[in-house]
């Protein structure tokens, strides 16, 4: 009769083993390499961990006025103004060129002409009442020949002109200045 208690004990041990086998194994706690499944976190927790998003573009344009001031000793300054309007956080460009006779060449021959470009690139970002502006300029003149290429990153106040560059001709007393105004158009 001692067999029944032994059988009962074995049956109880077998049942306990079966129950333990059906429970899932404990999951390891979050460690340096543990990554939560996407979507398993609360929305508030996700918002705290995500990097801040860049500010979206405003529904506004920026008018960029670029004034080239070409000063030659003893002569009145020659100014050229280029204007373009570009949406916030976008890029705009102006490309202009003319064929001009090369100085000292026979102007009757087509080969004696050269292209003279005037190019401007602008990329504004509105930040409050200021404009962060990426500006590129290529300006060539023929009398005397001068090539000017500029690439500038600027912070400008809305509607306020700022002289941002002054270049000197390496051979003469000629100077070329660059004045930029950026105006937010709402």
pLDDT at 1: 47
Cite the beta strand spans of 88-185 per DSSP E.
92-101, 113-127, 130-142, 145-157, 162-168, 175-185
Average pLDDT, the chain: 80
Q: What's the rounded Cα separation, in Å, for the pair 83 and 41?
A: 51
Residue pLDDT, tens place only, 42-87? 656 555 666 666 788 999 999 999 999 999 888 899 899 999 999 9
112: which DSSP letter? G
Among residues 66, 61, 62, 63, the alpha carbon closest in space to that of 162 is found at 66
**For the chain, what are the domain ranges?**
61-185
pLDDT at 114: 77
pLDDT at 41 over 90: no
pLDDT at 88: 98
On the CB side of 114, CA atoms within 13 Å amount to: 14
pLDDT at 123: 98
Task: Tell me which of 173 and 21 has the higher pLDDT.
Answer: 173
């Amino acid at each position: 009769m001692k067999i029944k208690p032994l059988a009962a004990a074995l049956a109880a041990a077998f049942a306990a083993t079966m129950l333990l086998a059906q429970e899932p194994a404990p999951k390891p706690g979050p460690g340096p390499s543990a990554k939560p499944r996407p979507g398993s976190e609360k929305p508030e927790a996700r918002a705290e961990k995500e990097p801040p998003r860049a500010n979206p573009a405003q529904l506004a344009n920026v008018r960029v006025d670029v004034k080239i001031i070409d000063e030659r000793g003893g002569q009145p300054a020659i100014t050229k103004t280029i204007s373009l309007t570009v949406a916030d956080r976008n890029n705009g460009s102006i490309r202009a060129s003319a064929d001009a006779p090369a100085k000292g060449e026979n102007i009757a021959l087509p080969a004696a002409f050269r292209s003279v470009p005037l190019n401007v690139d602008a990329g504004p970002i509105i930040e409050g009442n200021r404009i962060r502006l990426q500006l590129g300029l290529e300006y060539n003149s023929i009398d005397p020949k001068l090539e000017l290429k500029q690439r500038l990153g600027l912070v400008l106040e809305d509607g306020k002109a700022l002289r941002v560059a002054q270049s000197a001709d390496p051979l003469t007393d000629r100077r070329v200045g660059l004045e930029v105004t950026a105006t937010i158009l709402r």
